[in-house]
Amino acid sequence: MRITPLSLLISASLLASSAFAQDTATVTGIESEISTKQIDYDKSTTILDKHLKEESQLQTQLQLLRSRSTELDKEKNQALDAMNEMYRRLIDDPSIDITAAQARYQKAVVDHKQNKDDISMQLAAIASHRKDIEQIRVAKHTLLNTLESLKEQLTTARVERLRNEFTREGTLEVNHTINCKRTETLAACEQRGQQMGLQKATKRFVDQIFANLTEERLVEPKRNLAGAQVQILSSHVVKSAFSGQGNYNVNLSVTMRGEVNSSRLCNLLSIDNRYCSEYGTPMAATYQPTYSTTFSDSQLTFSKHADNSNVSAARLNEQPVRDYAVKPTVTNSSVIANSDKNQPIELTLRSNVYDDEVFIDGVSFGSTRLVTRLPRGVHNIEVRKLGYKPYQVRVDLNKAQTVHANLVKKPESIAAPTYTREQPEQTTRKVSDNISVLSANVKTSVVVIPAGKFNMGDINGNGLANERPVIEKVIANSFAMQSKEVTVGEYEQFAANTGYKTQAEQGKGCAYYLNGEPVWEANLNWRNPGFEQTSDFPAVCLTYSDAKAYADWLSGQTGQQFRLPNEVEWEYAARAGSQTEYPWGNDIGKNLANCGWCGSQWSNKSAAPVGSFSPNAFGLYDTVGNVWEWTNKNSGESDVAVRGGAWNFAPSLARASTRLILAPDFRSNYIGFRLVRER
């Protein structure tokens, strides 16, 4: 039996809906805006490079002027000595001509003064040029964040466009002929013919949906993963007739609407599942389908290739929704469980005396009792107290452990009276988890960053030019780093103790983002950053000098050296042994950090309380997003790098290797800091 070809009529709602045209226009508009901003960004890069080159030339000229100043000063002194000698000789011999000596000295004075004026002018030119560079850099960072934000919007628009294209409505007119079986009645043949006509219509409707997808080339190879469905809204027989040869022909007009498992749209577009999280649970990224040549569900089965054969249907009148998605079983082996092997392990330290000091891998952790978390592996523990022999032990930390240190008095020591655990001192200092009590009123939470080596820079090829080349760096010694960003409460303690006024508080204000542009507001500072905050929020609106002032104060209070981390230390600690863009992988995910479009309750609104998200493998919080963090300025350089991303910057700028270069006096409500403690 030969089934006649389908005659197909697609309604305007399927191919030319204004809503879908608007989706495409939105995507096209964003793409156009990205193209424009990319051109602006490239221009700003060229302009910045030109200014930096000019600044280098100005600095070279300044060095030449300063070198010449030394020579001119020497010449002036020599000319003066020569002229004085001529004056002495003139006393004995009035006929001596001293004109040449006078002229030489006069010229030396003029040249020296001119060189000093040139140096002053050169310094002014460099200062003016430096301001231009700072403005260009801020503008460039703004453009970069705008670009990355537009890319976020573009991806969201692509998802919405695809969803709308899958869920459009349309009407098809289908002409279908079957041969009635000898054993069936005419009514049964008529019903079967109409059912198979409906089945053909739904299949063709799905085919047309896929054929008209804007991103068909990307989506079509993953067709079986789409979960595409068709809902029959209405149908009616246009005409039908039986022929004398036992054939039944029916012409159907069927109105349908497409449906799709929206949580799978990201998989179809090969993008991060976070863009589809609002639609439900996305497909596992590890799912590798086997594409079948046959589409099937519980209602119908038909061949992908044979348009006119072996079509069967069941319960069609009971359930009008057709699901053409292949649904293979996903085994447990497809799901990769998160390993906890890189997570820090708890170590508890106790001793038989008070007022001791604990050193872990050479870094002071305060006194016992102490509970801290350390990276898995071997650590050297030492407990010291004046008048006692040091207690030393080497611990292979693979699971939570408790170390009891028994300190023994040195012979003939003149140790101060000591209180044992059995006879406690009246005033004790309690040390909570991972907190080193450093003085009577100052405490800070630090974690040990072990020695090691790592690849620094744009490992995965997604970064900026200033993240390349990738270089292997070696951290020869372990060091301690604050586990959290310095908070408002901690900075308040410093300001109250010293009366320190930040640059923002001195009437110069602080920058905040408005419509993608940094805007200066005179009344903004770390106490009032432009959003509501409590004492556990990161301190922001601070310059490089404001951060260093706090570090100097903390060092004085504790007797230990605190400073800003250099870039190598910061990235090593932030990566915590990972080679991915973020500690948990190459995708930002949803609600794993506080950055723009990261899905947290603070994203694009404000900073978050420190420690609101899980720490990395070294026990550091908020190395992804929340606020950018100042790093230590390199010797001889005038600018400083900030690292880590922020609550109002795109996720792509919160990668471990991202660097933004700023002037030291820049301050904004998205920049804070944390400190390292030297050995």
Cis amide bond preceding 369, omega within 30: yes
Q: Which CATH class is domain 168-275?
A: alpha beta
Note the pLDDT of residue 292. 28
Using pLDDT thresholds of 50, 70 and 90, give the confidence band for residue 576: very high
CB 458 within 8 A of CB 508: no
Using pLDDT thresholds of 50, 70 and 90, give the confidence band for residue 279: low
Note the pLDDT of residue 5. 33
Note the pLDDT of residue 240. 92
Note the pLDDT of residue 415. 33
Secondary element (H or E) of residue 133: helix 99-166
Cβ neighbors of 94 (< 8 A, separation 6 or more) are none
Q: Give CA–CA dist 450/573, Å, rounded.
A: 9
Cβ neighbors of 153 (< 8 A, separation 6 or more) are 30
CA atoms within 13 A on the CB side of 428: 15
Name the fold adopted by 345-409: Immunoglobulin-like (2.60.40)
Q: What is the pTM of this model?
A: 0.70
Query: pLDDT (tens digit, 9 = 90+) per residue, 393-421?
Result: 988 888 888 898 988 887 643 333 333 33
The per-residue DSSP string of 439-498 comes to: SSS-EEEEEEE--EEEEES-TTS-S-GGG-S-EEEEE-S-EEEESSPPBHHHHHHHHHHH
Query: pLDDT (tens digit, 9 = 90+) per residue, 199-249?
Result: 999 999 999 999 999 999 999 999 888 888 899 999 999 999 998 788 999
Tokens of 618: 């070294």
- The neighbour count for residue 450, using CB atoms within 10 Å, is 20
pLDDT above 60 for 314? no
Query: pLDDT (tens digit, 9 = 90+) per residue, 547-572?
Result: 999 999 999 999 899 999 999 999 99
Query: pLDDT (tens digit, 9 = 90+) per residue, 653-666?
Result: 999 999 999 999 99
Q: What is the CATH number of domain 446-677?
A: 3.90.1580.10
Q: Give CA–CA dist 402/292, Å, rounded.
A: 57
Cβ neighbors of 486 (< 8 A, separation 6 or more) are 538, 539, 547, 550, 672, 673, 674, 675
| Averaged pLDDT score across all residues of the chain | 82
pLDDT above 80 for 377? yes
Annotated domain spans of the chain: 23-164, 168-275, 345-409, 446-677
23-164 placed in CATH 1.10.287? yes
Query: pLDDT (tens digit, 9 = 90+) per residue, 441-496?
Result: 677 889 999 999 999 999 999 999 999 999 999 999 999 999 999 999 999 999 99
